[in-house]
Amino acid sequence: MYTCGIDVGSVSAEAVILNRQDGKFEIVAYIITPTGGDSKEAATNVFNRALEKSGLGASDMSSVVATGYGRLNIPFATKNITEISCHARGVVHYFPDIKTVIDIGGQDSKVIKLDSKGNPIDFLMNDKCAAGTGRFLEVMARALDIDIRDFAKIFAGTSQKVDISSTCTVFAESEIVSLIGHGVAKNSIVKGLVYSITGRIISMVERVGLEGPVCMTGGVAKNLAVVSALEERLNLKIKVPEEPQITGALGAALLGYPKE
């Protein structure tokens, strides 16, 4: 029995095709692609590519569940579910004991608190400002002329940091340009930026209430500098799925099955 979960975010769209057999779930195929300017087109594209990769057809899907900010623009979806519920379900599939989920995407970030059964009981979302998101890191990396993939190595190998006082992405970029102009080492700026983004996330965690174990999802979970800084400041180990970007789509696919 196959289901498909489609997560259309502001930056990327993901599709996961799932098979349940004898009570066990198997990811048959998944695709991650940029959303672009048309969420409906992105959903159609990622769905068709996932079907092609799996060797299945649309008629093989018992349900297609949409989530993410573009979930209402997917006409072929059989139902839509909020990303809070889908991320919670996807995380619990990987780590059944998780109590706090930190999801940092391209243009928003969220912290979700789960109960003992993995159900979301509280959450906080930042979707009004790019600070504390993947977009923030991309803009800063460009201003520094440093590959964002090198942030983890720089963060781990640098002892000095410069405090970034600006919380707005635009002002932070100007601040970085000024620091570079004054001869401040780029590595120290990188370290300061990582602590800056994690500081915003930690304030969200504190407002929701920290309870471990903790899992991190979203594209920024692939940035080990951010993960390491969060672990350091929260004083705990953070679990990260093998592919943290598909958690929402996976949760949507899982919620497409009737409860046994």
Instruction: Write the DSSP string, 42-66.
Output: HHHHHHHHHHHHHT--GGGEEEEEE
SS3 130: coil
Q: Specify which residues 150 forms β-bridges with.
A: none
Token digits of residue 198? 């994690």
Token digits of residue 174? 């100007």
Residue 155: inside a domain = yes
Instruction: Find the largest Cα–Cα distance for the chain.
Output: 64
Residue 260: inside a domain = no
Residues 127 and 216 in one domain: yes
CA distance 32 to 35: 9
**Could you list the residue range(s) of the whole structural domain that residue 62 is in?**
2-93+245-255
Residue type, 177: V
Nearest residue to 126 via CA among 109, 107, 147: 109
Q: In what order do the strands lie in the sheet with 2-8?
A: 24-34, 12-21, 2-8, 61-67, 79-80
How many structural domains comprise the chain?
A: 2
Residues 50 and 146 in one domain: no
Q: pTM for the whole thing?
A: 0.90
Buried b (16+ CB within 10 A) or exposed e, 52-91: eebebeeebbebbbbbbbbbebbeebeebbebbbbbbbbb
Residues 31 and 150 in one domain: no
Residue type, 83: E
Token digits of residue 51? 């079907």
Determine contact, residues 122/208, Cβ cutoff 8 Å: yes
Per-residue pLDDT of the chain (260 residues; tens, 9 = 90+): 999 999 998 889 999 999 998 889 999 999 999 998 899 999 999 999 999 999 999 999 999 999 998 898 899 999 999 999 999 999 999 999 999 999 988 778 899 999 999 999 999 988 656 666 778 888 888 888 888 888 889 988 988 888 887 767 777 888 888 898 888 889 999 898 888 888 889 999 999 999 999 999 998 899 999 999 999 999 999 999 999 999 999 999 999 998 76
Residues 171 and 42 in one domain: no
Token digits of residue 107? 């243009």
Residues 106 and 227 in one domain: yes
Residues 34 and 111 in one domain: no
Domain containing residue 112: CATH number: 3.30.420.40
